[in-house]
Amino acid sequence: MFLKKKETPQIDPQQRELYEHARKRIIQKKRLFQHFVIFIVGAVFFALLNLVFDYGKDITFFGVNWYVVAILCWAFLFIVHFCNVWLFTTFMGREWSDKQMERLIAKQKEEIALMQKDVDLMYPKDDLMKKKEGFIKGKTSEIVEELKEKESKNMITMIAAAGENDALGKDNDLVWHLPDDFKRFKDLTTGHHIIMGRKTFETFPKLLPNRIHIVISRNESYQAEGAIVVHSMKDALDIAKNDVQPFIIGGGEIYKIGLAYADAIELTRVHGDFEADAFFPAIDEETWKLEKEEFHDVDEKHKYSFTYLTYKKK
Ligand SMILES: NC(=O)c1ccc[n+]([C@@H]2O[C@H](COP(=O)([O-])OP(=O)(O)OC[C@H]3O[C@@H](n4cnc5c(N)ncnc54)[C@H](OP(=O)(O)O)[C@@H]3O)[C@@H](O)[C@H]2O)c1
């Protein structure tokens, strides 16, 4: 004979959470009410002690009778308790906590993605696989040397959008509006140093968030609020030397100088010829290897089609 095992009812986790929340709220309110009753009884007791039984009639604090001070202090504690239970849970209740939590999680995810981007740059997957094989084969010291060498080198990257005729902009402005390219620029450069010429800096209405701005100018007295001013590309790169991927973001004059220092180019080739007064320098195929390309078609937000091209120095 087997006894049928009693099944425990399954409670929906969401319902359980709601139930737990309601239970806690009831306990909180009950305690608040108890505190209120004790406070009233206590206050009356103090008053009677003093007024009817003359207890401590001559004890004062700053000229105020002790029982008044005691009641005021207690009233303050009661108000704090009330705020905690009522006001904070009304205005900073579960919904508020959930929103805060979501915001914090989103922010942390963003930071993790940024860190991951840097790690991927420092240790590309292919390299890691090679190293893993090396470790298995016992070539530890060679791998440590290679790692040290890699750590001391950052990837200086030029990032630009240029037409088929290398057009960059005209009258200190861009000649197209490509939101997806802007987004890519933001994603790639956030958290890094951005190096630019004085003219490009002056096209910005405000500083770009979460990036260190380095402005190059020949003018020794030039000042740019919120940015670091230097007078050569070398100085700019020196400031950014601990950044795994500093970006040279233009314009024409600065790209021309930057080409000799860059290890990579993120170029958005906009399909069309444009009238311009600033141009991207020619990319020599002997020096640069095209590693990746991704086409973006015309759509309601993008008047021109374009291709993201990633070049690495050979
Ligand atoms: N399509 C894109 O991706 C992109 C990106 C960035 C900019 N742009 C466009 O490019 C245009 C601006 O480019 P640009 O070539 O006219 O100007 P720029 O390269 O932004 O800045 C030129 C300034 O940099 C300083 N400079 C240049 N060479 C230097 C050197 N060797 N040493 C020290 N300082 C030096 C000088 O500043 P001082 O005059 O103060 O000495 C010079 O006037 C704008 O139309 C902008 O919209 C396009």
SS3 content of the chain, % helix, strand, coil (to 5): 45, 20, 35
Distance CA 169, CA 279 (A): 7
CA of 199 to the centre of ligand 1 (A): 5
Q: Where do the domains of the chain lie? A: 19-91, 157-313
Bridge partners for 309 per DSSP = 267, 293
Cβ-Cβ contacts under 8 Å for 195 (sequence gap 6 or more):
214, 216, 233, 236, 237, 240, 246, 247, 248, 249, 254, 258
Q: Indicate which atom in ligand 1 lies nearest the CA of residue 257.
A: 31
- Give the pocket of ligand 1 (CB within 6 Å): 160-162, 168-169, 172-174, 196-200, 203, 216-219, 222, 231-232, 249-254, 257, 278
In the DSSP assignment, the letter for residue 264 is: E
Whether 7 has a pLDDT exceeding 60, the answer reads: no
The amino acid that residue 190 corresponds to is: T
Q: Region 264-268: what's the mean pLDDT?
A: 98
Whether 276 has a pLDDT exceeding 90, the answer reads: yes
Strand ranges (E), 175-231: 193-197, 212-216, 228-230
Q: For the CA atoms of the chain, what is the radius of gyration?
A: 33
In the DSSP assignment, the letter for residue 191 is: T
**157-313 in CATH: which number?**
3.40.430.10
Whether 137 has a pLDDT exceeding 70, the answer reads: no
> Which pLDDT belongs to residue 146?
64
Predicted model pTM: 0.66
Torsion of CA 120, 124, 126, 129, to 10 degrees: -70
The two beta strands, 157-163 and 264-270, are parallel
The two beta strands, 212-216 and 228-230, are parallel
- Helix 66-82 to helix 13-51 angle (10° resolution) is 170
Quickly state the pLDDT bin for 87 (edges 50, 70, 90). Answer: confident
> Which pLDDT belongs to residue 1?
46
> Which pLDDT belongs to residue 6?
55
User: Containing H/E element for 169?
Assistant: strand 167-169
**Alpha-carbon separation of residue 112 from 67, 120, 143 (angstroms):** 57, 12, 26
> Which pLDDT belongs to residue 19?
83
Q: Indicate which atom in ligand 1 lies nearest the CA of residue 167.
A: 1
- Nearest-CA residue for ligand 1 atom 39 is 217
User: Containing H/E element for 290?
Assistant: strand 288-296
Residue spans of alpha helices (H) in 171-251: 179-189, 198-201, 233-239
The amino acid that residue 201 corresponds to is: F
> Which pLDDT belongs to residue 151?
55
Least confident interval from 9-23, 251-265, 266-280: 9-23
Distance CA 28, CA 34 (A): 10
